[in-house]
Structures are given as structure tokens and as C-alpha cells.
Amino acid sequence: MGKTPDLFILAEHTDLMKKLSAWDIAYHQNDAPVVDDATYDAAKSRALEIEELYPELAPDGASSMVGAAVSDKFKSYPHSVPMLSISDVFNAAEVADWFDKLSDEDLFVELKVDGVSYAARYEHGKLVRGLTRGSGVAGEDITENLKTIPDIPQQLTGDYPDVIEVRGEVYMMRSDFIALNEVGDRQFANPRNAAAGSLRQLNPKITASRRLSAFGYTYGELSERTWKTQSEYFDKLESWGFKTTRRWAHRVHTMDEIQDVYNSVMAMRSDIPFDIDGLVIKVNNVDVQERMGARANSPRWEVAYKFPAARAITILRDITIQVGRTGVLTPVAELEPINIGGVVVSRATLHNADEIARLGVRIGDKVIVQRAGDVIPQIVGVDTQIGKSVYEFPSVCPVCGAAVVRESGAVARKCVNSLGCPAQRIGELEHFVSRHAFDIDGLGTRQLELFISRGWIKSPADIFTLIQNHGDELRKMDGFGDKSVSNLNVAIKNATVIDLHRFLYAIGIPDVGEVSAKLLARHLGSLDAVRNATDGQLKSIDGIGDVMAGEIVSFFSDEHNTQIINDLLQHITVRDAVVETGGALMGKRIVLTGTLSKYTRDAARDILERMGARVQSSVSPKTDIVIAGDAAGSKLDNAQKLGITIWGESDLDALVESGGDNFGK
């Protein structure tokens, strides 16, 4: 029995719990954290320290906290098995203290992915319910949202229990997060917030429009367990159609090995394409896990070995403004260069005007800078207020001088001069020549800026007469020569025939990304059909909502856009798509796996989709064909077990050569 806490300790603990509760609601319910992880962890650690000294505070304290109460915006359901959190440890001594209490020293070390926990319940292999962690006792119903994420199979494959609740993490790849912030009105602070905000949507179509990814890593309720270790469970997950973090996982037996893994992952952290905030160390033997059991809010058989916050304090020298291709103004903090975790940082994002106001940051202040995911520097707070005046967000575009507006209900400020702003023109042209659009190699930012400044490129159509009109001048310029100009000429000529969906993506219709462009192409078939589609026709396409339909109609009604497209059509051919009523592979579900020698994955996908196929990311009993290249892995194994038709690259070659006429022969 601990001693009775005095009034000062009680007051401190009460204050800590109020803060933690409010922060949990902001983080788990509103997807808008108000403090960084380090601040939260420090407050929780102090609360736990007090509760260890005064155990009577634990039942209503941090020792019993898991997530936050479910939001009343969603239906909620109880977890059949509580969804507990994981105890955090922050240094080798704390890990050793946990390790020394173990009787089983076969450990499994995984990445701690910085995302949003989910629970997906399967009955007879079919996904029947998806929940958030919520309070740990009950979660929010996100079933339809989970169904939009390609990494979460709707039907399990292979040998699975009659009932299994797979638990894991929904996350957003860092590249997808950056792309989302470039086009969205809401500016998310980091990929975790973006994933949470995208997953917890009342409209699943919004979730589907965001590029979310997912891993599986544990389980809740199940009717039968056929695995003995966590390592074997990863094998099961992959056989059922889930992705795991096995590529980065390790089996270890000693503290030295744990620390070696920790150090090696820390060193490669920036190369991992998604955010992680530590390692999860688990007893590998599941029988031992079950014997060890759990505390009120966390299992005894695992800990999260957290990475230190990569942060530092420096001076904010200035705030500059970047103008993106959609006209959005993004404030950038110009910093006194500072070394953060081995990287010299001199610039950081401030997201938008609202974030500047929330932070209360002024030029000249000492600011706290953090490398989010060790890649994207951001200001997370003010250390010392030194600056004299509040920053005033510009009311005119710093590039072209046009007015800046904030549309109703939006966060972002935009330059209204979409036709004449040089910054927007560069961004639009970068998008136009990008890999998933016209894919013109050799036209990067530096080249586009040069050609625009010389007046050689004023609109996309000018790209296709660039060499014809300015080739001789270009060959005489530093950094160019006969070979580079010849290569650029070939790349431009290769782009003069383009698939409809790539063209629709390239021309930058607001809200239309790669997936939406493919939907339009498959349902309407030709550029003329898309240009002339009515609002009603567009909204009848599953996946095209009211806002997007309005943007498409508005885009093609604009005289400037019409002129740009007509000018382009003087130089290029837009290849019609196969409308979803015919085509050699119409309706066939196809999975690509392994490495193809003649085709990139994107090129193979485009060929198959032009013939009407639906290219999927995972194998299921409904898959019709698996095309396997070199080093094909578990997808090929699953296909063989399920008796699915398997093609090699030669079969794809034959299909391409025949134009699809030999399918099924």
C-alpha cells in the first residue's frame, strides 16, 4: 500500500489527467493534435510515475488510459477482445528492465508504424466489420472505409480461421501525404494526421480518394489459432492477403541484439517510405504471451521502444511564401541552420496562415523545429518570443501580384491568377510532364523554369514544338548538347500518343487524380465524351461525387482550358479507352507480381486496363489471372493454392501482339 498523496501531488496529477484527456480527444477523435509526441509522452510518464508512488490514483489515471471515447458521429461497437495500447520505453535501461523479467528470450522486433489502429473482423473469410481503437473497449464503425483500402482484403485467401479479427495500422506513405497537401484545402500536419482524417470520414468516397495503406500485425478474437509464434502469424497474414512489416522485422535473443536493431533502424529511418516512431519488441512465443497476460491497459509481453524526438531550437529568420501549381500559398520558415538528428535544417513548413496564428510565431522568435518522420521539418512551437510584430499573411500573390483569396470553408489561401501566374504555370507544367501524365523525361523544374523565362514555353502545346523552334539555340547552351537535345526530342515524340486517363490526369482538372481519371476513361471512353459529359452523367459514375462532377463540368466549360486542349490536340493523339462494356479482358481481375523484363509495373497495368481488366493489388478467390514475373512471391503461391490461372510474361506479350484477340485461346 502506497502512502497518501499530498494536496500538491493530487493537484499535479489532476492537471496532468485533464491535459492528457483533452490531448487524447484532439488526437484520437478530432485528428488534430495540439501537442507533439514528446510533450504528450513526458506528461504521461510523469502521471505514471505519480501512480506508481500512489497506486490508489491508478484506476482513474494514465495507467488505465487507452485512446479516447468514441465520437458520436459514428456508430460504435464493443471490441470482443479489448484493444490495448503498448507500454512505452525510451532508453536502453528501460528496455533492459523489461527484458530482465522475461523467461522466454526469443523476441520478435517490428517497426512501430506511426498511423491509426484498426480492427477488421472476418467471418468465413469475409470482412464483416471494421472498428477504430476508440476507447479500447469500444470502437467506431469504419467498415465501409476499410473496404476502400487496397491493402485490407475484403475476402481472405488461403487457410484461415472461421472467425479472425485482424488488427493493424492504417498509414499514409510520405509521398502520398505530400501529394495530398499539395492539392487539398485542409493542410495536414503529418502523415499520421492525414491517415486518421482520411479514415474517419462519414463518406467512404472521401476515404477512397486518399491513398491510404495498411499493415496487419496482431489479432483479437479468433475461433482457432494454428500458429505458435508472432513470426508464423506474419506468414499467416501474408497468406490471407495482408501486408506486414516483415521486411524490417528481426528475431533477437539478447539486449545487445535489440540495441543493434534499434541503431540500424534509426540510421535507415529516413529511407523507409512511411513514418515510424520506434520499434515494437514482442515475446515471439504466443503461448508465453498468453501466460504473461496484460495490465489494465497494456500487454506485459511487448513494449514500444520509442525513438527520441528529432528536434532542436533555432531562430526564425524570415517567412517566405511558395505558390504551388493550384495557386495555394504555403508559408515556409527560413531558419538559422541547425543540425537535427544528423541533418542540417534551414527551412521548415508552417502549413498555412491558421497554423502561424495558432503557434503565435513571429519572425525573430526562437522556435522548436522537429523533423516529422525525420524527413519533413516543421515548427511545432515557440521557445522564446523575441519577434516584435505579428506576421501578416500576404493579401497579394508574391509571384504575380494578383489578389489572394480564401474560399468559404477552406483553410488554404489561393492566388486568383490561375492563367497568368508564373509559379502556377511552372507547377502545372511539372505535373503535365510527370511520370503518370505525359512522362517526358528531361523536362524537370530547372529546364521548365529556363524555357519559361525565355518565352519558349507559354502553354503545354509549346512543349511539342520546342525542339523544332528552338533546338539550334538549345544545343549552344551550357548543360545541353546534341545528345541531350536528341534524347529530349525522342521523349517528346514518344509522348505524342497518350492514353485518355493519363491525358485527363495531366491537364490538371481540380480534384481529379489518377484513380478518378481512370474511372472517367473507363466509363466514358473518349475525350469528347468526357468534355461533353453532363453533371448527371458524371455523378452516375461510382466514385465521382457532387464536388468532383462540378469541377469537371466547370473545367471543360472554361474558354481558356478549351483553348489549351484544342492547341494540344494539334500535336498529340489521345487514345480512347475501352468502355466497361467490352474489351478482351473486360471485367477480369488481374494481379501483377514479380519483375517483368519488358514492362514497368505501370506500363503493364496500363495495357491491361486498356483492355478492360481491373488490376488489383492482392490475390483473392475472385482473382481471374495472376501475371508472374521474376522473383514472384507470396501472391504467386496464393494463386497456385487457389487454382487461379497463372500467366508468364510471354502470355502478356502474346496478348499485346494480338491486340487481345488471342485471349482465352
Residues with catalytic function: 112
- CA distance from start to end of the chain: 79
**Axis crossing angle, helix 634-642 with helix 230-240, rounded to the nearest 10:** 60
Which cell is 156 given?
A: 481472405
- What lies within 8 Å, CB to CB, of 383 at 6+ separation is 313, 365, 366, 367, 368
Among 322, 336, 381, residue whose Cα is nearest residue 356? 381
Evaluate whether 421 touches 323 at the Cβ level (below 8 Å).
Answer: yes
> 366-372 and 376-384: which strand pairing?
antiparallel
Evaluate whether 414 touches 393 at the Cβ level (below 8 Å).
Answer: no
**Residue 192 burial by CB count (10 A; 0-12/13-18/19+): exposed, middle or buried?**
buried
Tell me the C-alpha distance between 566 and 545, whole Å: 27
Which cell is 164 given?
A: 479472425
The cell 541533418 sits on which residue?
343
**Long-range CB contacts for residues 10-16, cutoff 8 Å, separation at least 24:** 12/46, 12/50, 13/47, 13/50, 13/51, 13/54, 13/57, 13/61, 16/43, 16/44, 16/46, 16/47, 16/50, 16/62
Among 170, 167, 232, residue whose Cα is nearest residue 199? 170
- What lies within 8 Å, CB to CB, of 161 at 6+ separation is 222, 223, 224, 225, 226
SS3 per-residue string spanning 236-286: HHHHHCCCCCHHHCEEECCHHHHHHHHHHHHHHHHHCCCCEEEEEEEECEH
Tell me the C-alpha distance between 607 and 654, whole Å: 12
The cell 477488421 sits on which residue?
120
